[in-house]
Amino acid sequence: MCGRSDECHTAPGWLNRGVPLEVEQSTRDLRRLRAYTFVTVIGSGPGALFMAAMFMANSELVGAELALAAGAVTVSVVLCTAALALHWHGRGPLRRRILWGASLSVLVLGAAVEASAGAIGPSWAAPAGLLAAEFALWARPGRRARALSWASLVTLVAVAVLARSGLFEPEAVFMAVVVVPAIGMGVVCQLWHYQVALELEKARGLAADLAVAEERLRFAAELHDIQGGNLQAITLKAQVARRLVAVDPERAEGEMRAVEELARAALKDTRAVVGGYRKVALADELDSAARILKSAGVQATVPADPPPLHADTEKLLGMLVREATTNLIRHAEPTAADMSIVEADGAVTVTVANNGAPAPAQAGNGLTMLADRFAEAGGRLEHRHGGDRFVLTATVPNPPAPSRAKPPPEAASPRKAVLR
């Protein structure tokens, strides 16, 4: 069931400060459900004892026989309630079964005392219901309803046999048919409800942990994609400035100004990522790629204006342009690069090609993650290597996007990012 009692308790109030209101309410409700379940399960013992006492008060037992029968009912209920308490606290089954066996033996002896004075009355039905509930709890979750059915069936068969022998009053037979399954089902169902609530609370906590982990991965990927190219370009420009500072101070100063501009852009992007406001736009990524490639001294042809695209498609292709630019600067020594965007037959294909590529190597984490994302979107990402030329091609379906005004004719021509 729920293990030890201290494991079932939720966090104290001071640990819940700063958590969302719905989470705090859920924790409070679970704590209340635990208290309610404990009262109803353990309180079933005194309830069964009260019911038995009411029937026994109306029986024909008197004197020592009444005292023995009442004592047997009380001891039986106490022992079975103690077994239920051990189950609540997650203790081992051995002591519970010993208590259950002792409770059953005392109950049978008390019924025998009443049978010696006449027919057995209905006062034993409620304690028998507690015994049926404890017996059902021995089974694993999912099989307790079957175990309870068997316990109720055995009880009913025994009562029917004794009734045919004249040892049970007709009223006792009726109470056994109704009370034994009712008490057993009440106890088992209360514990089952609480167990379901615990599993739901664990699932909610697991979902929250997964959401946090997913957000961390997203943030790490965003930071890697955004800052990889910027930092690589800053490194290259700083190296050029260091080499030129003694032979061409003016050009070195220009390179340092470019480093300053790149650093400011990187800082702005970092703040946008941390704030969660940065939107991956393909046009912005193309502008950023042209700026970074120009700063790195690469003669690049970059499309001036992409076609109208669906928001998800634009985001995915923007990530591709960002990752391709970062890898181009970081892992190759290109002098020329070309990017193209072609829309045809409901799909968009982006191709990035560059020279100066090193020997073929295994795809990095960035391209691997992008390939997975393109596959999830129904597209594909491929790359090939020939000589010193590396070509990255990605194709993804493009759902209809809201129409937008066509750019001026001069804006549709490719732009050159050439280092002067």
CB 122 within 8 A of CB 169: yes
CA–CA distance, 185 with 129 (Å, rounded to integer): 9
Domain with CATH 3.30.565.10 in the chain: 218-417
- Looking at domain 218-417, its CATH architecture is 2-Layer Sandwich (3.30)
pLDDT at position 211: 64
pLDDT at 5 over 50: no
pLDDT attached to residue 313: 87
Separation CA 229–CA 223 (nearest Å): 11
Q: What pLDDT is recorded for position 393?
A: 92
DSSP character at residue 359: S
Q: Is the pTM value of this prediction over 0.75?
A: no
Tell me the C-alpha distance between 382 and 395, whole Å.
Answer: 9
- Cα–Cα distance between 234 and 353 in angstroms, integer? 22
- The pLDDT, as a whole number, for residue 4 is 41
The model's pLDDT over 91-135, given as tens digits with 9 standing for 90+, comes to 878 888 888 889 888 888 888 877 777 777 778 888 888 888 888
User: pLDDT category, 23, cuts 50, 70, 90?
Assistant: low
Q: Which helix (H) or strand (E) holds 339?
A: strand 336-344
pLDDT tens string 133-170: 888 888 887 788 888 888 888 877 877 777 777 677 77
Calpha distance 120→115 (Å, rounded): 5
DSSP state of 285: H
Long-range contacts formed by 191-194: CB under 8 A, 24+ apart: 191/1, 191/37, 191/41, 191/87, 191/88, 191/137, 192/141, 192/144, 193/33, 193/37, 194/2, 194/33, 194/34, 194/37
pLDDT in tens, 304-317: 778 888 888 888 88
Residue 252's pLDDT is: 85
Query: How far, CA to CA in Å, does 337 sit from each of 328, 354, 385?
Result: 9, 4, 14
Question: What letter represents residue 200's amino acid?
Answer: L
341 against 110, higher pLDDT = 341
* 338 pLDDT more than 80: yes
